[in-house]
Structure 1
Amino acid sequence: MGPLLSDITVNGEVIPAATIAAEAQMHSAPKGKPGIAWRAAGRALAIRALLLQEARRRGLVAEPVTEADRAETEEEALVRQLLDEAVAPAAPGDDAVRAAYDADPAKFRAPTLYEAAHILFPVRPGDAAALEAAREKAEAVLADLARAPREFDRLARELSACPSRDAGGRLGQIATGDTVPEFEAVLDRLAEGEIAAEPITTRYGLHIIRLDARAEGAVLPFEAAAPRIGAMLAKAEWARAARAFVESLAEAAEVTGIDLKAA
């Protein structure tokens, strides 16, 4: 673990190893390979430092946005404002939208419906100690479920922090977009009746997830799918432009302790 415990510096700004270790708790990695999570955390923190430095160099003043379920921090606001200013890709044309649909119409479907259940172990974002404690509890429960999967209902009622515990963890019928992406990704890869082999991390904490049923949506006609495809292409183009912007900052920066070019 030697090299993984070193500090990172970004244009002279030091990111302590302890900060990286805490951030690493929020990144997944195969068991026995903590270096993957550490490097992901190091890159994330180094890129964040680069963006904040550039925002301040440009003289941006944080204007946090408050939404119903969360309030932006000043640093989050600075990053958002910088990207709004620096990243402005062209909107996708009609031909690009049509080509994306014709390439694979089956990708564009009505929302998938799921019936699922979960057991939630709540963790506040950034609380590494609580996350580790929750992971130990969740893995112990998964071991119990591996021996007796029918105990899911009882364990959900006893242990889950979600109101769905009163229904044995059952969430009722949910559709594409009703849950956070990490949760939905698990529902998409599970077989009906299967319990996910590992606890899943979201902004709410750790979840043990069971998929009870899934009904895939029908393929949409082009006219119905076009707005969604346009938004998808615009998002992808924005991501490419943002990545290029970050790469340009990294190229001009003095960074030690992590290789941003490999990211």
Structure 2
Amino acid sequence: MNPDESALPGFEQSRAALLARAAELGWLEDGADPDAVVFASPDAERALLLRVLEHEVPWKTPGEHEARRWFDAHAENYRVGARRLVSHVLYGVTPRVPVGALREHAERRLKEVLADPARFAALAREESNCPSGAEGGGLGALERGQTVPEFEQAVFEAREPGLLPLLVATRFGFHIVRVDQIHEGEAPGFEACREAVERDLATDAWLTACRQYLHRLASDSPSPLVQ
């Protein structure tokens, strides 16, 4: 497993409890004190904490019935060759720019371009903080897995070409997005993608169980304000 910690709220807050459990399991070098242990790198610490999670939260392989139900509910995610031709205008978040003011500016520009779609390319060249702005905002053909999840969700939920009516907020900033072409690809049957379905379902179930485990750890941990 190699999950993104953003999928595990409470991961950082539970660091001390996870280190304490690592000590109980004998996984700290030379019996180091979990309150004072020093790691060679942040990646080394992260690997140990995830190892504790994998030990404490068992991985469960789903049965065929569960996997089929998951596939039926998420069939769109398994289309082969689905892609979107996308353009955008990025208003990038930087330390010097107030986020609220940036969002308001982006929303004003979105209203303007919704009223006059022909203005999109010029707006991208004038204001986009993405290198694609020089080309009128074009990002080319995107397939699933090529962009951050929040951007992917927005563009792949589109069922017809055109400007998205709302800003798309990502870790990079606020995007005015235009879906230029839609290719839905082919929808394989369950057996053709069974391995991927089982992996995705097991991962989702494991992450859910980890979030519950971390929530319990955080609830059991004393507040740092309590002496």
Q: For the superposition of Structure 1 and Structure 2, which TM-score range results when normalised by the shorter chain?
A: 0.7 to 0.9
Larger Rg computed on CA atoms: 2
Q: What does residue range 91-110 of structure 1 map to in structure 2 within 5 Å?
A: 91-93=61-63, 96-98=66-68, 100-101=70-71, 103=72, 106-107=75-76, 108-110=78-80
| Unaligned stretches of 5+ residues in structure 1 | 1-43, 66-71, 257-263
Question: Structure 1 residues 200 and 61 mapped into 2: Cα distance closer, same or farther (>3 Å)?
Answer: farther
1:187 aligns with 2:147: no
**Counterpart in 2 of 1:203?**
171
TM-score (norm 2): 0.72
How many residues matched? Answer: 200
Q: What does residue range 22-101 of structure 1 map to in structure 2 within 5 Å?
A: 47-48=10-11, 50-58=13-21, 59=34, 62=39, 63-65=41-43, 80=50, 82-93=52-63, 96-98=66-68, 100-101=70-71
Provide the secondary structure at the position in 1 that maps to 2:113: helix
Equivalent position to 1:159, from 127, 131, 150: 127
Question: Structure 1 residues 110 and 246 mapped into 2: Cα distance closer, same or farther (>3 Å)?
Answer: same
1:132 aligns with 2:100: yes
> Whole-Å Cα distance in 2 between the matches of residues 95 and 202 of structure 1?
35
Relative contact order: is structure 1 or structure 2 higher (C-alpha 8 Å, sep ≥ 6)?
A: 2
> Whole-Å Cα distance in 2 between the matches of residues 104 and 140 of structure 1?
37
> Whole-Å Cα distance in 2 between the matches of residues 242 and 48 of structure 1?
9
Counterpart of 1:245, as a letter, is: Y
Over the residues paired in the alignment, what is the CA RMSD in angstroms? 3.1
| Unaligned stretches of 5+ residues in structure 2 | 1-8, 22-33
Q: Identity of paired residues, percent?
A: 31
1:120 aligns with 2:90: yes
**Counterpart in 2 of 1:237?**
205
TM-score (norm 1): 0.64
Provide the secondary structure at the position in 2 that maps to 1:142: helix
Structure 1 residue 85: Cα displacement: 4.4
Provide the secondary structure at the position in 2 that maps to 1:50: coil
Counterpart of 2:14, as a letter, is: L
